[in-house]
C-alpha cells in the first residue's frame, strides 16, 4: 500500500468526514466492488467515485455529517 492511501484516509478522518464517504473512497481507490444496493448511501457513492479517481474533491460536502 502506498503512503498516499494512508495519508489520505488519515486526513479525511481528522477532518471529520462522514464514515460512509471514507469507506466509499477506500473501496473505489482499491478497486473493490461497490456495496450491495440497499447499503449504498449518497456519501458512499461520492467517496467511491472520488476514490476511483484518486481524489477527494467531494469530501468537504460530507464534513461533519
pLDDT confidence tier of residue 2, bands split at 50, 70 and 90: confident
> pTM higher than 0.85 for the full model?
yes
Is 65's pLDDT higher than 80? no
Q: What is the number of structural domains in the chain?
A: 1
d(CA 42, CA 21): 8
pLDDT tens-digit map of 5-54: 999 999 999 999 999 999 999 999 999 999 999 999 999 999 999 999 99
Q: Is residue 26 one of the residues assigned to a domain?
A: yes
User: Would 36 be classed as within a structural domain?
Assistant: yes
Q: What is the pLDDT of residue 29?
A: 97
- Identify the bridge partners of residue 17 per DSSP, sorted by sequence position: 63
Q: Is residue 65 part of a domain?
A: no
Residue span of the structural domain in which 21 resides: 3-59
- Inside any domain, residue 44: yes
User: CA 31, 55, 19: angle at the middle one, nearest 5?
Assistant: 75
In a domain, 43, yes or no: yes
Residue 13 belongs to some domain of the structure:
yes
Amino acid at each position: 500500500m502506498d503512503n498516499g492511501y494512508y495519508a489520505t484516509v488519515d486526513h479525511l478522518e481528522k477532518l471529520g468526514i462522514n464514515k460512509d464517504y471514507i469507506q466509499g473512497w477506500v473501496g473505489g481507490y482499491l478497486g473493490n466492488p461497490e456495496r450491495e444496493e440497499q447499503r449504498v448511501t449518497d456519501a458512499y457513492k461520492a467517496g467511491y467515485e472520488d476514490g476511483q479517481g484518486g481524489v477527494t474533491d467531494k469530501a468537504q460536502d460530507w464534513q461533519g455529517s
